[in-house]
């Protein structure tokens, strides 16, 4: 079916925000808006053909304008944390806006998830959103032109493809920050889901949730998810509030790096990515102040995120893959979520 476009709402400044809907032949439907280039709904059938919305989100545009949980939006310029909000490139030190304890998280105070992107329909199954980030925004150097293309294929793949260029050397690490609940966004905890992450190693954290720089084997740790594990059987053994850790994977669009399933509905989701890491986040900071779609309150562990990325704080860690993009280069990043039921 052709992609449809409708008005979703108006920002507090009166700017019109459009909604784009893609429907495939398998019974899936995805909805996106210009604000934050956000995936606001994703409908997936179960074994009986009953479709539910499996992504957490806000009930209206006002929620996305105050999106402190980053629901379903594109985060950047740099997803995840930069230690103390500072880094150096070519001998020049840059200081970013601080928004997460002593660190910068997900691009700063008013980053990509709070920007109006320009949407464009491409054929029957794609929508592309573009945003131009000015030089110095949130403290980052260079003017960056970023785009994200969402495609919903007839074989039930949600393909997310990023492209970016810059006028000055700058770190880039874009991702979509969707929270999934394969039982449906308003069914509560995801502790009954099964998860498997094909990672031999992970990056331990300091007390501010920034990687220490070590790369450690998952074997004989709570982070060994190489075989399917019920989230509720493991999450309470993780130090702190739950999972919020980067796993070191083999990037591939041919073999999945992660798989999550919900036994009750039969829905499952496989993840593929071209990046070397994925952040498994178990929604540890959701609380009863989070009033989501259809009036439902999203509580702690009400969803899970699998965020494809360079390792967090890569710009400051010499042994991590470098996330610096330079003029004349192009940042490319594709992530695929494949659904079955």
Question: Cβ–Cβ contacts within 10 Å for residue 63, how many?
Answer: 19
Q: Which pair of tokens denotes residue 303? A: 């969803």
Nearest to 194 by CA among 221, 227, 219: 227
Cβ distance 152 to 124 under 8 Å?
no
Q: For residues 177 and 56, what is the distance between their CA atoms, to the nearest angstrom?
A: 10
Nearest to 282 by CA among 221, 329, 323, 223: 223
Instruction: Kindly tell me the sign of the dihedral angle through the C-alpha atoms of 302, 211, 114, 66.
Output: positive
Cβ distance 139 to 168 under 8 Å?
no
φ, ψ (nearest 5 deg) of residue 4: -105, 155
Catalytic residue, chosen from 177, 193, 245, 301, is 177
**148, exposed or middle or buried, with CB in 10 Å at 0-12, 13-18, 19+?**
buried
Q: What angle do CA 33, 38, 39 make, to 5 degrees?
A: 95
Instruction: Kindly tell me the sign of the dihedral angle through the C-alpha atoms of 182, 162, 67, 39.
Output: negative
Confirm whether 177 is a catalytic residue: yes
Confirm whether 254 is a catalytic residue: no
Q: For residue 180, how far is the Cα from the chain centroid?
A: 10
Q: For residues 106 and 102, what is the distance between their CA atoms, to the nearest angstrom?
A: 13
Catalytic residue, chosen from 41, 137, 270, 307, is 307
Within a 13 Å sphere around the CA of 192, how many CA atoms are in the beta-carbon half? Answer: 13
Enzyme catalytic residues: 177, 307
């Amino acid at each position: 079916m052709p992609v449809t476009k409708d008005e979703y709402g108006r920002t507090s400044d009166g700017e019109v925000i459009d909604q784009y809907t893609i429907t495939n032949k398998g019974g899936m439907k995805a909805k996106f808006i210009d604000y934050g280039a956000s995936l606001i709904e994703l409908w997936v059938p179960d074994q009986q053909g009953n479709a539910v919305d499996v992504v957490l989100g806000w009930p209206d545009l006002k929620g996305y304008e105050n999106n402190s949980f980053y629901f379903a939006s594109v985060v950047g310029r740099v997803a995840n944390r930069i230690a103390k909000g500072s880094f150096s490139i070519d001998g020049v030190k840059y200081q970013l806006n601080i928004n997460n304890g002593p660190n910068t998280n997900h691009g700063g105070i008013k980053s990509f998830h709070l920007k109006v992107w320009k949407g464009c329909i491409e054929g029957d199954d794609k929508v592309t959103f573009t945003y131009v980030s000015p030089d110095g925004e949130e403290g980052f150097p260079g003017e960056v032109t970023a785009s994200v293309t969402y495609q919903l294929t007839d074989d039930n793949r949600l393909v997310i493809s990023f492209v970016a260029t810059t006028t000055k050397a700058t770190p880039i690490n874009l991702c979509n920050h969707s929270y999934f609940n394969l039982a449906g966004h308003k069914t509560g905890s995801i502790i009954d889901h099964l998860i498997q992450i094909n990672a031999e190693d992970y990056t331990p954290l300091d007390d501010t949730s920034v990687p220490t720089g070590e790369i450690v084997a998952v074997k004989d740790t709570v982070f060994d998810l190489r075989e399917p594990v019920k989230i509720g059987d493991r999450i309470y053994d993780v130090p702190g509030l739950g999972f919020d850790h980067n796993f070191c994977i083999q990037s591939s669009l041919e073999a999945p790096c992660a798989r999550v399933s919900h036994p009750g509905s039969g829905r499952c989701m496989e993840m593929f990515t071209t990046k070397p890491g994925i952040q498994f986040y178990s929604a540890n900071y959701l609380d009863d102040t989070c009033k989501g779609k259809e009036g439902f309150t999203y509580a702690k562990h009400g969803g899970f995120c699998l965020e494809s990325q360079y390792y967090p704080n890569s710009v400051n860690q010499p042994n991590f893959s470098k996330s610096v993009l330079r003029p004349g280069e192009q940042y490319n990043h594709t992530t695929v979520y494949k659904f079955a039921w």
